[in-house]
Amino acid sequence: MAVRTDPYNQFVVSPSFSITLVHMANASQRPAPFPPGTYLSEHYAIEGLVRLTEGRMFYLANDERPERAQRYCFGCGSDDTPRAQDVCVACGESLAERRFLISVRWEEEGFANTVELFEKGLSHPGMVTPSDVFMQDGVLCSVYRWAGGTLMVDEGSPLSSREVLDLAQRSVGMLAYYHRHGVSLGEIRLANFMVEPGRVFRLFDPDVERMFIREVPQTYRGHEVAQLGSILRGFTAITQTNLIDLFVSAEEGGFSNPLAFGRALERVMAEHYPEEDGRVGAMTDVGLCRSLNEDNWGWTELSEGIALYVVADGMGGHDAGEVASEMAVENICLGAHERLETEVPSEPERLQNIMEESFRAANNAIKDHSERLGNDMGTTMVAVMVKDGKYALLANVGDSRGYLMRDQTLHQVTRDHSLVARMVDQNRITREEARTHPHSNILLRTVGTERDVDVDLFSVELESNDRLLLCSDGLWGEVEDTDIEAILNHYTDQRVACRELVRAAHHGGGKDNVTVVIVQV
């Protein structure tokens, strides 16, 4: 079943739904999903599971409950309309084709605050308000009337500057509204934003950290701004340095409350921002089986004409893998910036030195951090430095890959540092056998596990319309290279191509986190 709105807004239930159920039942802490046809509460029937995110399962549902003689009206609360009628007998509201998006959370520590927020009855144009909240089978269900919107997790980066600023302004207003009503939010994720028809962004289904009798004290108002800054930075085009600087400042705690951030936003909104041309895209997703996304990605403009793009796939579990991948991306970007501050190298050899030095510095920073904490963490990483659209330098450690798409043909540029890749090189197994080999997860080289790791570098002289693809093994492990090639040939907008590649990974089984970055020359 597919419910389509515009090219960016669609919910899809995987055709391999029964296979998906088997995988998801083993996901850490996540309960088994409700099968299609399940009745929830007194009013809802599940159509299907449409999205998994960290801490949430989302379902499409309707109110087709033939065992009930009457239909319930969510407008006035009347339960007296005969099932055969499509108009409420009490208020005249239409009851035809009503559909719902149901958010299911299972972490009990947030149940009480979620219920209390619902009972407050808050309503604001910047948020999507639940119509019902109830417990069933040990999980908390929040019900939203669905009118064709979707979640921000299905949005590829970047958004247009206008959309980024619209999202920022609406979010700041919503945070201030919550604070006035005594609501301090917990971690803000992409799944906490709904994109409704017309490309309208609204806050949706938030976690609540704490409820206050009166307004939220000033000391509790900064953490949400920092989290919002991180989300906004990820959706900002690499060329919009003024916006990126503002969002980095927010992310680093430069604004103590939404009001201060809002005033800074007003100053930058007066500037002119050209529309993006769809030549760059990025997206990351938790997949269908994991409960935590340990992948990370980033991009940065190092100097005029030189940009860096990175994907990292963390290892080590909670508070380890996701930390390692985040540190890897941040440190290689910062390191490359520092090394390019005083020069714009014209020779490829100097760029190669900068890439290798920055890569190793990121590796050693993770190693130092791991030793201080006494834990085991690491990450794979692939990066590409693009100069003037004419030259690309790729670097990798582990099995996150870099590809070149030229003349409609996909070429793998990087080499995997894995046991099965070595076995393929030694002609002990075929590439097809490597995909399903029991030792396919054994890596021979990773970032952060050994000091001064060896980094592989690959130079590419670029041609017009070349595309570079960086990805974690959550993509190529689920989708054949021929299928990746077909998707890239079909979609010319890189944001859409990213979304379709993530969707293909889901259809392939979605056993791992998946991250993709695409750059078109």
> Lowest-confidence range among 63-77, 142-156, 328-342?
63-77
CB 30 within 8 A of CB 48: no
Say if 18 falls within a structural domain: yes
**CATH number of the domain residue 447 falls in:** 3.60.40.10
Q: Per the domain annotation, does 274 fall within a domain? A: no
Residues 66 and 52 in one domain: yes
Q: Out of 3-17, 321-335, 426-440, 472-486, which region has the weakest mean confidence (pLDDT)?
A: 3-17
Indicate whether 185 and 306 sit together in one domain. no
Please say if the pLDDT value at position 23 is more than 60.
no
Lowest mean pLDDT among 89-98, 153-162, 202-211, 480-489: 89-98
pLDDT score of 20 more than 50: no
202/305 same-domain check:
no
Per the structure block, which two tokens stand in for 364? 């050693």
Pairwise CA distance, residues 289 & 426, whole Å = 32
Q: Let me know if residue 275 belongs to a domain.
A: no
Signed CA dihedral, 200, 205, 209, 211: sign only = positive
Pair 168, 232: CB distance under 8 Å: yes
Decide: pTM greater than 0.85.
Answer: yes
Predicted confidence at residue 374, as pLDDT, reads: 85
Which residue, of 92, 117, 149, is where some domain finishes? 149
**Looking at the structure, do residues 345 and 197 belong to the same domain, yes or no?**
no
Q: In the listed set 211, 245, 269, which residue is the last one of a domain according to the structure?
A: 269
Say what the pLDDT of residue 349 is.
Answer: 85
127-128/200-204 β-pairing = parallel
Please check whether residues 204 and 240 belong to one and the same domain: yes
Q: Residue 440 above 80 pLDDT?
A: no
List Cβ<8 Å contacts ≥24 apart for 497-500. 497/156, 497/281, 498/156, 498/157, 498/281, 498/282, 498/283, 499/8, 499/154, 499/155, 499/156, 499/283
**In the predicted model, what is the mean pLDDT of the chain?**
89
Query: Would 54 be classed as within a structural domain?
Result: yes
Mean pLDDT of 498-515: 96
Same domain, 160 and 145: no
Residue 157 lies in a domain: yes
**pLDDT range class, residue 441, cuts 50, 70, 90:** confident
Mean pLDDT for 254-266 is 96
The CATH number of the domain holding residue 139 is: 3.30.200.20
**CATH number of the structural domain spanning residue 159:** 1.10.510.10
Q: Which two tokens stand for residue 172?
A: 């700041």
Give the pLDDT of residue 12.
41
**Model pLDDT, residue 30:** 87
440-476: string of b/e by CB count within 10 Å (b at 16+)?
beebebbbbbeeebebbbeebebeeebbbbbbbbbbb
Q: Measure Cα distances from 422 to 279, 294, 380, 427 in Å.
A: 34, 25, 17, 9
Q: Are residues 317 and 252 in the same domain?
A: no
Asked if pLDDT for residue 481 goes beyond 90, the answer is yes
Q: Give the pLDDT mean for 365-385.
A: 93
Verify that 101 and 114 share a domain, yes or no: yes
C-alpha 395/C-alpha 415 separation (Å) is 10
In the chain, % of residues over pLDDT 70? 93
Segment 71-105, tens digit of pLDDT: 888 888 899 999 888 899 999 988 887 899 999 99
Q: What is the mean pLDDT of residues 35-46?
A: 95
Same-domain check for residues 195 and 291: no
Say if residue 32's pLDDT is above 50. yes
CA–CA separation, 471 vs 474, rounded Å?
A: 8
Residue 22 has pLDDT above 50, yes or no: no
How many separate domains does the chain show?
Answer: 3
Q: Which domain does 7 fall in, by range?
A: 2-149
Q: Are residues 347 and 389 in the same domain?
A: yes
According to the model, what pLDDT value does residue 11 have? 45
Boundary-marking domain end, from 269, 302, 336? 269
- Ramachandran quadrant class, 337 (left: phi over 0; alpha: psi -120 to 50; beta: rest): alpha
Same domain, 138 and 188: no
Report whether pLDDT(18) > 60: no
Confidence class for position 45, pLDDT limits 50, 70, 90: very high
442-466: average pLDDT: 94
Question: What pLDDT digit, counting tens, does each position of 335-373 carry?
Answer: 999 998 776 666 788 899 999 999 999 999 999 999 998
Confidence of residue 318 (pLDDT cuts 50, 70, 90): low
Q: Round to whole Å and give the CA distance between 288 and 30.
A: 11
Confidence grade of residue 431 (pLDDT, cut at 50, 70, 90): confident
Q: Clarify whether residues 120 and 249 are in a common domain.
A: no
- Is 503 a member of any domain? yes
